[in-house]
Amino acid sequence: MIELLNKIHHADWLTNNLPDKSVQLIIADPPYFEVKGSFDFVWKSFDDYLKDVEKWAIECKRILADNGTLFWYGHAKNIAYAQVIFDMHFNLINNLVWDKGSFMGLEESEGLRSFAPCTERILMYDNCKNKTGLQGIQNNLELYKPIRDYFLEQKKNCNYTFKEINEKSFGTASNGGGMASNILTSYKDGWTFPTKEKYEALQKIGLCPKPYEELRKEYEELRKEYEELRRPFANYFKLQEIFRFSNEAVKTGAKYDHDTVKPETLTRALILTCSRPDDLVLAPFAGSGTEVAMAIKEGRKAIGYDIEKKYVDMANRRVDIIKAQPSLFCFA
């Protein structure tokens, strides 16, 4: 796969040879169907377009890692149809609104007899379809099973009730449960790794012989493993569900000879928030190359596809310039 990295390929992205679950982040800016640009007018009917959307969703499902994130751009005119399809395969996290600011004059808007359009939509998905938040918690608990087994064994082999442990160790009255239950609990309940103070309190009544530092080290190793398994999310830009980024297509569209250039600032935000350094970022509809260029700039690996050769050539020139520069921004 090395030969595919950090470039845009002249091909339909559905022909990719990427391994299953190999992509950590997909940023897809597909044709919107009869909105803007010649690439929006290649389908004979809306039904044909939706058939392709279904193919795209299925392929995204195949290649997206279990802890990956998918961003899918769309226009208000038809994004709801795409959402219905993608909702069948992925778990919707946010229905984001990109506020591009004012770029259409009010007089032009009056001519259309509509309010001035200034937004696009971005659907944000993770790959946890049919998994509830409770299942995520249970997966978390399962990862810590060796440590939880240790605490469960301590409770099983002692003659104290939870109420007695609370009173003897923590000096708290309870009807049962309480702090003792949070530490020495069954898998069906919540669980808390104890502080050193609480652990030593348990040791004073003859429980938990293992040194705290040894157990803490084991816990931290498992916690690191858990964090690596989780879907990356670090909101460095303090964004909410409405993104306000200037429409760089207006300013730079001529420079890149493309009708729908996405802002570098917005793209950087998506990449830095939802991927880690060295993760693989896929741009299925690479266009002007913004996603691939920004991914490389931020220390990620990237692959892009586009069926228009003139855009592929232009985008690769843009990417080559980025690859020749050191990374200027990297929060992660």
Confidence of residue 325 (pLDDT cuts 50, 70, 90): confident
State pLDDT tens for residues 170-201: 888 776 668 888 888 755 556 789 999 999 99
Predicted confidence at residue 131, as pLDDT, reads 54
DSSP 8-state symbol, 214: H
Count of CA atoms in the C-beta half-sphere (13 A) of 162? 15
pLDDT at 123 over 80: yes
Provide the pLDDT for residue 135.
Answer: 45
Residue 138 has pLDDT above 60, yes or no: no
Indicate the helix (H) or strand (E) that contains 106: helix 106-112
- Gap between the Cα atoms of 318 and 327, Å rounded: 15
Residue % of the chain over a pLDDT of 90: 57
pLDDT of residue 182: 86
- Residues 183 and 299: their CA atoms lie apart, in Å, by 40
Q: Where are the alpha helices (DSSP H) in 157-256?
A: 162-165, 178-183, 196-203, 212-229, 248-256
Q: Is 57 exposed, middle or buried (0-12, 13-18, 19+ CB in 10 A)?
A: buried
Q: What whole-number distance in Å separates Cα of residue 81 and Cα of residue 311?
A: 27
The pLDDT, as a whole number, for residue 253 is 55
Closest C-alpha among 8, 13, 28 to residue 270: 28
- CB-count exposure of residue 167 (10 Å: 0-12, 13-18, 19+): middle
Give the span between the Cα atoms of 296 and 280, in whole angstroms: 10
DSSP designation for 170: I
- Range list of β-strands (E), the chain: 7-10, 23-28, 64-74, 91-99, 119-126, 242-244, 280-283, 301-306
Candidates 270, 268, 308, 302; CA nearest to 287 is 308
d(CA 297, CA 153): 50
Residue 133, pLDDT score: 44
How far CA 7 is from CA of 26, 297, 316, in Å, comes to 15, 13, 6
User: So what's the pLDDT on residue 137?
Assistant: 45
Q: Give the tens place of pLDDT for each residue, 252-268.
A: 555 667 777 888 999 99
Domain assignments of the chain as residue spans, ordered by start: 2-128+231-323, 135-229
Per-residue pLDDT tens for 189-243?
Answer: 567 899 999 999 999 999 999 999 999 999 999 888 877 778 899 999 999 999 9
Section 61-76 average pLDDT: 95
**Separation between Cα atoms, residue 130 and residue 108, nearest integer Å:** 45
CATH classification of 2-128+231-323 is 3.40.50.150, yes or no?
yes
**pLDDT for 185:** 77
What's the mean pLDDT in 86-109?
81
Alpha-carbon torsion angle 83, 85, 90, 92, nearest 10: 20
Res. 118 pLDDT band, cuts 50 70 90: confident
Band of residue 132 on the pLDDT scale cut at 50, 70, 90: very low
pLDDT digits (tens, 9 = 90+) for 265-312: 999 999 999 999 999 999 999 999 999 999 999 999 999 999 999 999
Q: Which two tokens stand for residue 93?
A: 């996290």
Q: With b meaning 16 or more CB within 10 Å and e meaning fewer, what string describes 106-137?
A: eeeeeeeeeeeeeebbbbbbbbbeeeeeeeee
State yes or no: pLDDT of 134 exceeds 50: no
